């Protein structure tokens, strides 16, 4: 996606006040997320052993940043989708409780633009659930709790900084990917997302990973953590860029049966021999629901910044840095 420069852009907050606002937003949202979902904060790794299969390979085609230690390949994480499930088992979390952590990642193959960075920071969270909660109504109930926290955060930011950013719709709308394709059959998946958030405001787009009636999935998803029938993304309309913005990706995780099915569909059966997959197949890991919520994206959205580099320190192409400077977009 090319760099978007909003017309006559000027940030509501200068750099110093922006830095303070970033901390206030993160502290407020994190506290409410922990309370709302009954989560406890834990420490998390920056890198993991490749041989364990714990690293999230996202769409299965993303290469990790790595180094070699003691003849073992060590990968910088992309997310902690699978590590969290192991942690819940290792720490013996009870059903109905869970964990969250500050996840920092490097995605070196990312195509950077207004909302994408080589550096990713998000709250990764995971919660132990019962077998009877492996269903759509439970997923939607968790989404509704998270969305209520987003609404609360919006009100907090507007009050604290005397802003008037009414960005979120009063409720979140649940939309199926096939339903969205049927509604906009001539558009690409990203174009469909933009149209639906412009129409409805805030959307939880469900069931991402399986092929739709056009023979293609709405988007790629790793086969070994989300159940593709019980997952989705929280999407909002971002007026500063006149575009869709994904704030969170989440879902009910695969059980052993769904793992085998999805790994077969992804032609990744050989990975079933890895440590994480063997633990799951041997029922050593709990049933869980979990996701990631973008920290910088949340700050960017609520402060209506034009570029994610205004709320996080990263590296950008020289041409992008120069253009942003000319247009009063202050990259950190």
DSSP 3-state of 315? coil
Name the DSSP letter for residue 226: E
Top-tier CATH class for 15-326: alpha beta
Chain position carrying tokens 């937003």: 25
Q: What mean pLDDT comes out for the span 99-120?
A: 88
Choice among 69-73, 244-248, 290-294, 299-303 with the minimum mean pLDDT: 69-73
| Active-site position among 57, 79, 107, 192 | 107
| Active-site position among 113, 148, 179, 246 | 246
**What is the distance between the alpha carbons of residues 10 and 119, in angstroms, rounded to a whole number?**
24
pLDDT, position 181 = 97
Helix axes 15-37, 295-302, angle to 10 degrees: 120
Calculated CA dihedral for residues 30, 125, 91, 107, nearest 10 degrees: -110
Chain position carrying tokens 């049933």: 287
Choice among 24-38, 60-74, 106-120, 210-224 with the minimum mean pLDDT: 60-74
102 catalytic per annotation: no
107 catalytic per annotation: yes
pLDDT exceeds 70 at position 58: no
Q: What are the tokens at 194?
A: 């933009």
122 catalytic per annotation: yes
**What is the distance between the alpha carbons of residues 72 and 50, in angstroms, rounded to a whole number?**
8
Q: What mean pLDDT comes out for the span 249-269?
A: 94
Residues recorded for the chain: 332
User: What is the pTM assigned to this prediction?
Assistant: 0.92
246 catalytic per annotation: yes
Q: What mean pLDDT comes out for the span 148-175?
A: 94
| Active-site position among 64, 86, 122, 304 | 122
**Phi, psi dihedrals of residue 39, rounded to the nearest 5°:** -115, 150
pLDDT, position 59 = 55
Q: What mean pLDDT comes out for the span 192-212?
A: 96
pLDDT exceeds 80 at position 108: no
| Active-site position among 117, 133, 248, 249 | 249
Task: Place 61 in a pLDDT band, splitting at 50, 70 and 90.
Answer: low
| Active-site position among 30, 56, 121, 124 | 56
| Active-site position among 30, 57, 226, 233 | 233
Q: What are the tokens at 212?
A: 């739709």
On average, the pLDDT of the chain sits at 92
**What is the distance between the alpha carbons of residues 181 and 190, in angstroms, rounded to a whole number?**
11
Strands 98-106 and 72-76 come out as unpaired
């Amino acid at each position: 996606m090319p760099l978007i420069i909003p017309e006559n852009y000027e940030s509501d907050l200068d750099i110093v006040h922006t830095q303070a606002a970033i901390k206030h937003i993160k502290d407020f949202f994190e506290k409410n997320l922990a309370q709302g979902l009954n989560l406890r904060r834990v420490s998390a790794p920056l890198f993991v052993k490749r041989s364990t299969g714990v690293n999230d390979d996202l769409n299965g085609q993303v290469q990790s940043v790595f180094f070699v230690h003691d003849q073992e390949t060590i990968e910088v994480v992309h997310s902690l989708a699978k590590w969290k499930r192991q942690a819940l088992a290792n720490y013996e979390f009870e059903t109905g409780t869970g964990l969250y952590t500050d996840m920092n990642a490097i995605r070196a193959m990312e195509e950077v633009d207004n909302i994408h960075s080589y550096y990713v920071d998000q709250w990764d969270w995971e919660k132990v659930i019962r077998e009877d909660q492996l269903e759509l109504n439970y997923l939607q109930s968790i989404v509704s709790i998270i969305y209520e926290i987003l609404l609360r955060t919006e009100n907090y930011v507007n009050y604290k900084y005397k802003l008037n950013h009414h960005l979120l719709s009063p409720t979140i709308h649940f939309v199926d990917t096939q339903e969205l394709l049927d509604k906009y059959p001539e558009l690409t998946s990203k174009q469909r997302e933009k149209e639906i958030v412009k129409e409805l405001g805030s959307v939880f787009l469900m069931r991402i990973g399986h092929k739709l009636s056009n023979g293609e999935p709405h988007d790629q998803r790793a086969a070994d953590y989300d159940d593709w029938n019980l997952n989705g993304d929280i999407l909002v309309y971002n007026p500063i860029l006149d575009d869709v913005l994904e704030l969170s990706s989440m879902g009910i995780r695969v059980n052993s049966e769904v793992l085998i099915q999805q790994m077969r569909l992804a032609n990744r059966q050989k990975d079933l021999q890895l440590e994480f997959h063997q633990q799951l197949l041997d029922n050593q890991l709990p049933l869980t629901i979990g996701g990631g919520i973008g920290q910088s994206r949340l700050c960017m959205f609520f402060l209506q910044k034009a570029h994610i580099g205004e709320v996080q320190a990263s590296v950008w192409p020289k041409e992008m840095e120069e253009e942003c400077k000319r247009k009063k977009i202050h990259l950190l």
